Amino acid sequence: MASIIESGWLCLTTHFNDFQLACLGSFFLHESVFFLSGLPFIFLERAGWLSKYKIQTKNNSPAAQEKCITRLLLYHFGVNLPVMLVSYPVFKYMGMQTSLPLPPWKIVLTQIIFYFILEDFIFYWGHRVLHTKWLYKHVHSVHHEYATPFGLTSEYAHPAEILFLGFATIFGPAITGPHLITLWLWMVLRVLETVEAHCGYHFPWSLSNFLPLYGGSDFHDYHHRLLYTKSGNYSSTFTYMDWVFGTDKGYRRLKALKNGGVEDCSKQM
């Protein structure tokens, strides 16, 4: 398997230079993963399939869905792509590599875990700041236009927010100078996670049912359907920051009530 991946990587690096791979390749990979993972939830909602797993009964109108897609294309080409182009010298300066051999899986795994931990910490505080009155009104309210989120709304946000919270995602790789394939893997995992968190469905096979402290769609959907001053659940992938600072108490109480744990819930209040 390793030899197949290395052969494919050698083919890429032979036909494309570092700039093309790091900027245009990353952009194409992001767009492919994002839309291929997010679009199915639009079709599920329109067709009414798997509705028993839908968290909210309300559906978005086709016009609202189309508005989201149109704005996303504008944001991606007008904000994301230029940021990738501008960031290239920084990543090269910090030691990003594209050559063979590919990094050992232990190094890749260690870096990815580090990125998740660091991103969760930075994202939590950035997201919490965005829920202060002025920033919510002028910036973050754009993302909350969709009280019933679907996969593609994960990246529907004000351009200032895209830059502000995007910093949390790229900071880890920027300071460690990983191999490009590690950066791509991190980007794919992060995109899949945020699409799942906004998908609007909680399936029996959802990761939050098996992975401790993983937020997922049920956790983040609660954040979208409450008023900004009372929502909580500010975490990105894992929920330890909300647990430490008590900003998930409302969500935990609701879960306890739904599960019939009224007595346990009253003890926490």
Q: Is residue 70 part of a domain?
A: yes
Lowest mean pLDDT among 16-25, 56-65, 227-236, 260-269: 260-269
For 3-13, what is the mean pLDDT?
A: 93
State the DSSP code for 132.
S
Does residue 156 sit within a domain?
yes
Tens of pLDDT, residue by residue over 49-71, are 999 999 999 999 999 999 999 99
> Residue 260: inside a domain, yes or no?
no
pTM of the predicted model, to two decimals?
0.94
| 62 within some domain | yes
Please identify which residue in the block is written with the tokens 């979208």. 224
- How far apart CA 176 and CA 118 sit, in angstroms, is 12
Question: What's the CA gap between 118 and 169, in Å, rounded?
Answer: 9
Q: Cα(166)–Cα(79) distance, rounded to whole angstroms?
A: 11
The DSSP code for 102 is: P
Residue 207 lies in a domain: no
Contact 200, 149 (CB under 8 A): yes
Compute the distance between CA of residue 5 and CA of residue 182 in angstroms, rounded to an integer. Answer: 13
For residue 60, what are the contacts with CB-CB under 8 A and spacing of at least 6?
A: 45, 146, 148, 150
Average per-residue pLDDT for the chain: 93
Across-strand partners of 214?
238
**264 within a domain of the structure (yes/no):** no
Query: What's the CA gap between 143 and 156, in Å, rounded?
Result: 6
pLDDT of 226: 82
Total structural domains in the chain? 1
Cα 121 vs. chain centroid, distance in angstroms?
14
Which domain, by its residues, includes 71? 2-199
pLDDT-wise least confident of 112-121, 122-131, 220-229: 220-229
Is 17 part of a structural domain of the chain? yes
Q: How far apart are CA 26 and CA 180, in angstroms?
A: 9
* Residue 127 structure tokens: 């997201």
> Is residue 215 very low, low, confident or very high in pLDDT (cuts 50, 70, 90)?
very high
Domain presence at residue 250: no
